[in-house]
Structure 1
C-alpha cells in the first residue's frame, strides 16, 4: 500500500522521459481522475511448490506471489507435514490451491482424495482445489462429477479449479474445436459453481526457439487467449493463464522483459490471474533452473529477481486494473513492421475494428489495444508493444481520442498524468512494454 501511495505522489512531479520525448504535451495538473480503493489484488501464483520450510514459503511471498499450487512431492496430503505447510502459507500470507492430478493420474488421485478425510476448510490458506490438469474433452464429465461432490462438501468456502489444454493440443479435443472444448468445461463444470467463485484456466507458452537458437513466437497464442477470455466473460469467471518462466523442451529461456510482456499481452485481453510455470526448478528432465532451487533451501536464481520486479509493478496498479471490465482487443499492424501481416492477429476470431474511446490508432511496430470500462463508464486501455522482446524493438504508438483532455498512464506500476493536445497522444513503448491508460474528458 505504501509504495502505491508513493507512486501516485510521484506522478505529479516526475517526468517520464520516453513519453515526454514522444511529444504527448505537458503534464496535467489539478484535474480529477477516477479514484479506486486499494481493495483488489492480482492473483499471481507459482507452480511447483518450494521446499517445505517456513523460510522458503516466505521467500515465495517476498517475490510477490499471492498463492501457490501445492502438490504432494515433498509432503503428502493427509499428513501432519502437509498441514504444517498449509500453516506456513497462512503465516506468510499465501493462499494455496491443492493439486490432485492429470489425465494420467486422476483416478488414483481421486481415490486418495476420497480417502483423505481432512476438512480443508479448516485451513485458512486453502482457497481452491485443482481437480485436473489438462483434461481431455471426455474427462470433463468426470470433473463435473467431482465438482458436484466438492460443492456438497465445501459449498463456496473452497473453490473448484482445473487447468485446460492450449488450442494446439487438438487431439485432446476429440473431434471438437477448441472453442467447443472450452465451452464444454464452462457449461458442464462452471455452471455448477456459484458466481464469484469461477475460474477458467489454460496454459500456453508463446516463446519458442528455432533450431538455430533464435526466438520464435508461437502463432496460435492470441487465439488461445481470446477463446479463454470470451468464454470466461460469458459466465463472469476469472480468466487465468500460466506464464512461461522456465526454459524447457523447445521453449526458450526468458528475461525480465519477457515476463513483463506476457503480463501485458494477457491483460490486453482482460486476464486477471497468473501462475509462474515453474516457481521451483522442476525435477523433470529438460527443465532449466527456475526461480528457486529444488534441493537447497533459500537458493534463488536470476529469474526470481526478474519476477519480483515485474510482480511489484503489477501489484502497484492492480487495484486500478481490476476495477475495469474487458470489452475486446484491437490489433494494430505496424507501419514499419517487416511484414504486412501477423499470424497471431490473423488467428483472432473477433478482433475489434475500432476502440470506442478512439478515432484511430497507429504504431510503428505491431501493437495490441485492449478496451475496458469501469462501473462508472470510464474508459481504460491496455496498449502493448506486440513484438517478441528478443528482437529489441521499440514502438511508437499514436492515439487519436474522440474526446479527451488528459490521460493517466500507468507505466511499470507508476501513474503519470498528461494533458492531451487536440485529442492526440503519442507514447513510446520500450522492449516488452505495455501501459494501462485512463483518458478523461
Structure 2
C-alpha cells in the first residue's frame, strides 16, 4: 500500500474514533447549557413575580398564561431558597417522552411565606443527539472526500521529491561508475534521506570497485604462479624418477589443477554476485543443452552411464549464453561425477523446467546444504564443493528456483524457469523427444 493511502486511512480512522467521543461531549455540553439557561430564566421570572408582590401589585397580569404557580407556605423556609427539579415522563396526549424542568423559589413577603413555582419543557438529550447525528454524518463524508482529494493534490507536490529519488535509485547502476544524482528538495526528512543515500551509494561504489579490482588481480596473479608450478612439475616428471616420486608428482599436479579450478570458480561467483553478466537477447536453451551433452559424451561412455533425454524444442530464455552453458555443464558433470559406473542419467527439459536425475549412493548431509560453498558429501573426493553453489547463484541472478531431492536411489536437481509467474499451458508448443 502506498504511503499516501496509509496516511489517509490513518487520518480517516482517527476521525471515526474521535468523532463519536466529541459528539457525546458536545451533546452533554449543549444539554447542560440549555438547561442552565432555562433555569436562570425561570429563576428570574420567580424573582420578578416576588418583586411585584412585595410592591403590593397583583401578579395576575404577569402570571396570566404563564406556567407559574403561587402558593402559601406554612412553617420555616428551606435553607436552599431555589430548588430545581427535572422530570421525565410520557405525555398521554402526545404519546411521547417529555422532559420538564421545575424551579421552586421561596420568599417571605410581609408576614406571609410564599412558594413561587415555574416550569417549562426542554429539549431532551435524544433529540439533541439525533439532530447532531445527521450533521456529523455529513461532516464525516465531506471530510473523507476532502481529505482524499486534497491528499492526492498535495502529494503531487509534497511527495514529488521522494518519487524522483526512487526513480533515480531504480536507474542507478554500480557498474556505470556514475554517482547517484538526487533531486533538490526543501523537506528536511527528504534532505536527510538524500544525504544518506548519497553516502551509501558512494560507499557501495567504492566497495564494488575494490572487490572487482581484487578479483581481477587475484585471477591474474594466481594463474601466473600456478602456470609456473605446473610447467616445473611437467619438467620434473620428464627426469629420472622412481614410482614413489611419480605418484607424488601426480598428486601435486592434481592439487594444482584443483586449486586452479577453485580460483576460477570463486572469481565466477564474485562476478555473478556483482551481476556482471548482462542479458541482451534470449537464446534457445535446448540448443545449449545439446551442445553441452555432446562435450560430455566421452566421459559418459567411459563410465558406461546410460543417458536418457527428453528435450522440448524452441525454448527461448533470457539468460547470458556463458551462464546457460555453465549451468548445464555443472549440473551434468555433477550427475556424472556422483554416479556409479554403469549407472543412469535422465534429463528433462520443458518450457517450465530443467531436471537432471542420476543414480548414486545417498548423500551424507541434507541436500539443501549442498548448495553452500565448499559443502560436499563424501561421494567424490575430487569435487571442490563449488559446482552447486555456482548453479544456485546463476539461478538467483536469473530469477529461477532450484531444488535438490534424493529418493529411491535417485538424485534429482530441478531448475524452475518461472519463479514468480505462471506459464499458460495452452500457449506451449507440443514437446518433441530427442534421444541421445
TM-score tier after normalising by the smaller chain length: under 0.3
Which structure shows the bigger proportion of residues in strand conformation?
1
TM-score normalised to the size of structure 1?
A: 0.21
Structure number with larger C-alpha Rg: 2
Higher relative contact order (CA 8 A, sep 6+): 1
Which structure shows the bigger proportion of residues in helix conformation?
2
TM-score normalised to the size of structure 2?
A: 0.21
